[in-house]
Amino acid sequence: MTTPSTAGTTSTTPPAYLIRGASILGFDVQDLLLRDGVIAAVGHAATAEAPADAAIIDAAGLIALPGMVDLHTHLREPGREDAETVETGSRAAALGGFTAVHAMANSSPVADTAGVVEQVYSLGLASGWVEVRPVGAVTVGLGGERLAELGAMAESRAAVRVFSDDGICVSDPVLMRRALEYVKAFDGVIAQHAQEPRLTEGAQMNEGEVSAVLGLTGWPAVAEESIIARDVLLAQHVGSRLHVCHVSTAGSVEIIRWAKARGIDVTAEVTPHHLLLTDELVRSYDPVYKVNPPLRTADDVHALRAALADGTIDVVGTDHAPHPSEHKECEWAQAAMGMTGLETALSVVQYTMVETGLLDWEGFARVTAVAPAAIGRLGHQGRPIAAGEPAHLILVDPAARWTVDPSTMATKGRNSPFRGLELPGRVRATFYGGHPTVLDGRLASPRPASAPTTDEAPAWNM
């Protein structure tokens, strides 16, 4: 791949990009012409229509995929800028192959008002590396007592559609019912962090054979499964849309499969780390493996992979959760829960799903872009790679192998559980609205605020 000569110049007309010989979704090899924020042409037409000054990108051996959409990212701003900022988190996202991320609401102050979600949204626009979609809190201050002003957030400039108290379960069944009902007014979705609070008081890790030996308080699978069972029935009763965050157990998969068979409007998410890692790693007592919900057993990992392959689980969400080092360089019980994930998601999903034959690259695009964009109601993301579509896409080298080194990552978080692991697949380029945020596997430049738009979703336009 050659770096285009026009990148980084201050030419008045935004450059066009001619991508040569990319395998579209792992299938046909085609040329792509990106111009004015859209895929202007595909195939021979792309070469024919390319202006003379178009930057040429050699994509031989690379796969073109829709830009990934993360439904579950912690950007930490406002409040914990020592852990991450919108700027650093969205740089990490671009490098990881994302063109949109949903910023979770557990910032400080909590994103529970139109003001805070608009602040996060504006920070995203100013950064320009990816589309930053704020998630609104379900309850005021994540307190689980009163509904936040969901309507105001929905109608704000941020046009919030996903609401979540992530980190804390909306455990009160009446409040959960009301939230599910209320968001029907603006086609919203409640993304539930399924964790029965009484069953998980002081919980430190998956409850099972390993916790019994380590003497760490158990987080039983039933604490997740009982909430999911309740919530799918509530969603059915009120006819609303439920999204289950970070599903981690085989039993949860069974309940979601049952609910979908009944026609309940439920979607589900799995994290890359739950597709690969098990609670055996906790034997080291290294808090880099401490996460909520916790790492489970090998049986759970295999059930989650099968569920993602057969569509029971709809999407991969990173639950990217950066923490300052002092929150991990301590005893297990004192350590914060969470792992970084934006810059390793593609590789882990390739490793666990594509290289195992469970998903092809089209399936990869479904779970990392098409389905999450649909859940978040981002009409212009996760689109087909075809003429006239918005140019949110990535070029991936599936043959690359790399060793994870958290110290070189763009995120401020160094808490990657994949540290030292050799993984397949690298993002070579990311195009966000036709603008290359990543080229040659390195950050290029943010999308200028004046870049052309596709006149689709108002919230995405500037």
Partner 1 sequence: MKHLLSTQDLSARNALRLLDVAEEMAAVGEREIKKLPALRGRTVVNLFYEDSTRTRISFEAAAKRLSADVINFAVKGSSVSKGESLKDTAQTLEAMSADAVVIRHPASGAPARLAASGWIDAAVVNAGDGTHEHPTQALLDAFTLRRHRARLGGLPSAGSTLAGLKVLIVGDVLHSRVARSNVWLLTTLGAEVLLAGPPTLLPVGIGSWPCTVFYNLDDALAQRPDAVMMLRLQAERMNAAFFPSTREYSRRWGFDDGRLALLDTMGLDDTVIMHPGPMNRGLEISAAAADSPRSTVLAQVRNGVSVRMAALYLLLSGDPRDDDEPDAHDRTDSPPILIPEGRAS
**329 in contact with partner 1 (CB under 8 A):** yes
The nearest distance, CB 204 to partner 1, in angstroms, is 8
Looking at beta carbons only, is 140 or 214 nearer to partner 1?
Answer: 214
Q: Which stretch binds partner 1 (CB under 8 A): 207-215, 337-345, 375-383, 401-409?
A: 207-215
**Min CB(309)–partner 1 separation in Å:** 29
For residue 126, state whether it binds partner 1 (rule: CB under 8 A): no
Closer of 199 and 451 to partner 1 (Cβ): 199
Applying CB under 8 A, does 336 fall inside the site for partner 1? no
In degrees and rounded to multiples of 5, residue 86 shows phi and psi of -60, -40
Q: Which residues contact 284 (CB under 8 A, 6 or more apart)?
A: none
Site membership for partner 1, residue 267 (CB under 8 A): no
DSSP string for residues in 22-91: EEETTS-EEEEEEETTEEEEETHHHHHH--TTPEEEE-TT-EEEEPEEEEEE---TTT-TTT--HHHHHH
Applying the rule CB under 8 A, the residues between 386 and 445 that interact with partner 1 are none
Give whichever of 172 and 201 is closer to partner 1, judged by the CB atom.
Answer: 201
Query: Is 292 labelled as part of a ligand binding site?
Result: yes
Q: Which stretch binds partner 1 (CB under 8 A): 119-127, 153-161, 332-340, 354-362?
A: 332-340
**Single residue of 28, 82, 155, 326 touching partner 1 by CB under 8 A:** 326
Binding footprint of partner 1, residue count (CB under 8 A): 23
Residue 209 lies near partner 1 (rule: CB under 8 A)? yes
Question: 48 or 213: whose CB is closer to partner 1?
Answer: 213
The answer to whether residues 408 and 402 touch, using CB atoms and an 8 Å cutoff, is no
From the candidates 112, 279, 314, 319, give the one annotated as an active-site residue. Answer: 319
Tokens 């964009």 -> residue = 373
- Any catalytic annotation for residue 319? yes
Under rule CB under 8 A, residue 214 binds partner 1:
yes
Q: 126, 330, 386, 462: which one contacts partner 1 (CB under 8 A)? A: 330
Q: Show contacts with partner 1 in window 219-238 (CB under 8 A).
A: 220
Of the candidates 332, 358, 443, 445, which one interacts with partner 1 according to CB under 8 A? 332
> Cis peptide leading into 173, omega within 30 of 0?
no
Q: Which is nearer to partner 1, 133 or 328 (CB)?
A: 328
Q: How far is the CB of 156 from partner 1 (least distance, A)?
A: 37
User: Among 215, 263, 357, 420, which residue interacts with partner 1 (rule: CB under 8 A)?
Assistant: 215
Nearer to partner 1, 333 or 462 (CB): 333
Contacts of 347 (CB under 8 A, 6+ apart): 402, 404, 423, 424, 425, 426
Q: Tell me: is residue 72 an annotated ligand-binding position.
A: yes
Residue 334 vs residues 215, 242, 328, 330: alpha-carbon distances, Å = 15, 33, 8, 6
Q: Which of 127-135, 252-260, 282-290, 443-451 is the region at the interface with partner 1 (rule: CB under 8 A)?
A: 282-290
Decide: is 208 part of the binding site for partner 1 (CB under 8 A): yes
The alpha carbon torsion through 327, 328, 333, 338 (nearest 10 deg) reads 90
Interatomic CA distance for residues 357 and 34, integer angstroms: 31
Q: From CA 110, how far away is CA 254, in angstroms rounded?
A: 33
Burial 223-237 (b: 16+ CB within 10 A, else e): bbbbbbbbbbbbbbe
- Sequence-ordered list of residues with C-beta below 8 angstroms from that of 249, at least 6 positions apart, any chain: 221, 224, 225, 293, 296, 300, 303
Asked if 211 touches partner 1 (CB under 8 A), the answer is yes
Of the two residues 243 and 328, which places its CB atom closer to partner 1 in the complex?
328
Cα separation, 257 vs 266, whole angstroms: 10
Within 287-391, residue ranges assigned H as helices are 298-310, 345-349, 361-365, 371-375
With residues binned 3-state (H G I as helix, E B as strand, rest as coil), the percentages for the chain, rounded to 5, are: 30, 20, 45
Q: How far apart are CA 322 and CA 344, in angstroms?
A: 13
Q: Is residue 344 within 8 Å of residue 413, measured between CB atoms?
A: no
Tell me if 76 is assigned to a ligand binding site.
yes
Catalytic residue positions? 319
- Output the known binding site: 72, 74-76, 106, 166, 193, 246, 292, 319, 323
Interface with partner 1 by CB under 8 A: which residues?
Answer: 204, 207-216, 218, 220, 284-286, 326, 329-334
- Binding-site residue numbers for substrate are 74-76, 106, 292, 323
